[in-house]
Amino acid sequence: MLQAYVEHVAERAALGIPPLPLTAKQTADVIELLKSAPEKEEGFLLDLLTNRVPPGVDDAAKVKASFLAAVAHGDITVPALPRAKATELLGTMVGGYNVKPLIDLLDDAETAPVAAEALKKTLLMFDFFHDVAEKAKANNAFAKEVMQSWADAEWFTTREDVPQKITVSVFKVPGETNTDDLSPAPDARSRPDIPLHALAMLKNTRAGAAFVPEEDGKRGPIKFIEELKAKGHQVAYVGDVVGTGSSRKSATNSVIWATGQTSRSCRTSASAASPSAARSPPSSSTRRKTRARCRSKSTSPCWRWAT
| Domain range enclosing 68 | 2-157
Q: Convert the chain into a string of H (helix), E (strand) and C (coil).
A: CHHHHHHHHHHHHHHCCCCCCCCHHHHHHHHHHHHCCCHHHHHHHHHHHHHCCCCCCCHHHHHHHHHHHHHHCCCCCECCECHHHHHHHHCCCCECCCHHHHHHHHHCCCCHHHHHHHHHCCCECCCHHHHHHHHHHCCCHHHHHHHHHHHCCHHHHCCCCCCCCCCEEEEEEEEEECHHHHCCHHHHHHCCCHHHHHCCCCCCCCCCCCCCCCECCCECCHHHHHHHHCCCCEEEEEEEEECCCCCHHHHHHHHHHHHCCCCCCEECCCCCCCCCCCCCCCCHHHHHHHHHHHHCCCCCCCCCCCC
Q: How far apart are CA 93 and CA 116, in angstroms?
A: 14
Q: How far apart are CA 125 and CA 190, in angstroms?
A: 32
Domain final residue pick, 157, 180, 200: 157
Same domain, 176 and 151: no
pLDDT tens digits for 23-36?
999 999 999 999 99
Q: Convert 65-99 into a string of H (helix), E (strand) and C (coil).
A: HHHHHHHHCCCCCECCECHHHHHHHHCCCCECCCH
Q: What's the confidence (pLDDT) of residue 270?
A: 31
Same domain, 11 and 128: yes
Look at residue 150 and tell me whether its pLDDT is greater than 60: yes
Q: What's the confidence (pLDDT) of residue 240?
A: 87
pLDDT tens digits for 84-113?
999 999 999 999 999 999 999 999 999 999
Q: What's the confidence (pLDDT) of residue 225?
A: 95
Look at residue 295 and tell me whether its pLDDT is greater than 80: no
Same domain, 31 and 142: yes
Task: Decide if 304 is inside a domain.
Answer: no
Q: What's the confidence (pLDDT) of residue 261?
A: 65
Q: Is 24 in contact with 60 (CB distance < 8 Å)?
A: yes
pTM for the model:
0.79
Task: Decide if 48 is inside a domain.
Answer: yes
Task: Decide if 286 is inside a domain.
Answer: yes
Same domain, 8 and 151: yes
Q: What's the confidence (pLDDT) of residue 217?
A: 95
Q: What's the confidence (pLDDT) of residue 230?
A: 94
pLDDT tens digits for 168-212?
999 999 999 988 999 999 999 999 999 999 999 999 999 999 999
In the chain, the number of structural domains is 2
Q: β-strand 168-177 against 234-242: which pairing, if any? A: parallel
Same domain, 95 and 127: yes
Look at residue 296 and tell me whether its pLDDT is greater than 80: no
pLDDT tens digits for 56-92?
899 999 999 999 999 999 999 999 999 999 999 999 9
Q: What's the confidence (pLDDT) of residue 290?
A: 35
Picking from 171, 242, 176, the residue whose alpha carbon sits closest to that of residue 206 is 176
